Homo-oligomer: A and B are copies of this chain.
């Protein structure tokens, strides 16, 4: 009778770990969707999962490329659904194409609460959410009633400046 080698055991353990990780990941994405009242379809789970992976915001074209051969319109409509349910927020960074990133705070169908600064790197073109950088107070002429604020900073990002 022969025993498992350490190498084989390691491979089996890694495989089991990956299975569990993928399951947990899927479970997390699924639960996140359900928690926001969105039916967890295959496409939506793929889109949301990919968005959760990102450091920087993605455009529809980015997602289309990354998730090929998924249909662009389906991704587009997933994003709109997510946005309306407070799962992701669209970012108008001045480039002319909307970028999307996951909401950090407890946003919901009532609205988005995590108002933060966005940063666009003129070198790598990436768009980052900066949740730590709260938008400061500013004064408006009398009579103007603010409701939403969008602050976009252009410059060189951490990675490119490093």
Which residues on A are within 8 Å of B, measured CB to CB? 92, 94, 117, 119, 122, 128, 130, 132-158, 161-162
- A11 to B108 alpha-carbon distance, docked (Å): 65
Q: Is A133 a contact partner of B143 (Cβ separation < 8 A)?
A: no
Q: Is B155 a contact partner of A148 (Cβ separation < 8 A)?
A: yes
* CB-defined contacts of A158 to chain B, threshold 8 Å: 141-144
B92, B139, B140, B143: the one contacting A92 at CB < 8 Å is: B92
- A57 to B137 alpha-carbon distance, docked (Å): 24
Copies of this chain in the oligomer: 2
B122, B138, B155, B162: the one contacting A133 at CB < 8 Å is: B138
* CB-defined contacts of A149 to chain B, threshold 8 Å: 151-154
Output the nearest chain B residue to A159 by Cβ-Cβ distance. B143
Q: A133-B138, A141-B158, A144-B156 are in contact. List 16 more A-B contacts (CB 8 A).
A: A117-B138, A117-B140, A119-B140, A119-B144, A132-B141, A133-B139, A134-B138, A135-B138, A136-B138, A138-B153, A143-B162, A146-B154, A146-B155, A147-B154, A149-B153, A150-B154
* CB-defined contacts of A130 to chain B, threshold 8 Å: 140-141, 144
Q: Is A146 a contact partner of B153 (Cβ separation < 8 A)?
A: yes
Output the nearest chain B residue to A143 by Cβ-Cβ distance. B158
B92, B119, B143: the one contacting A94 at CB < 8 Å is: B92
Shortest CB-to-CB span from A96 to chain B, Å, is 8
B151, B161, B162: the one contacting A151 at CB < 8 Å is: B151
* CB-defined contacts of A162 to chain B, threshold 8 Å: 143
Q: Is B153 a contact partner of A140 (Cβ separation < 8 A)?
A: yes
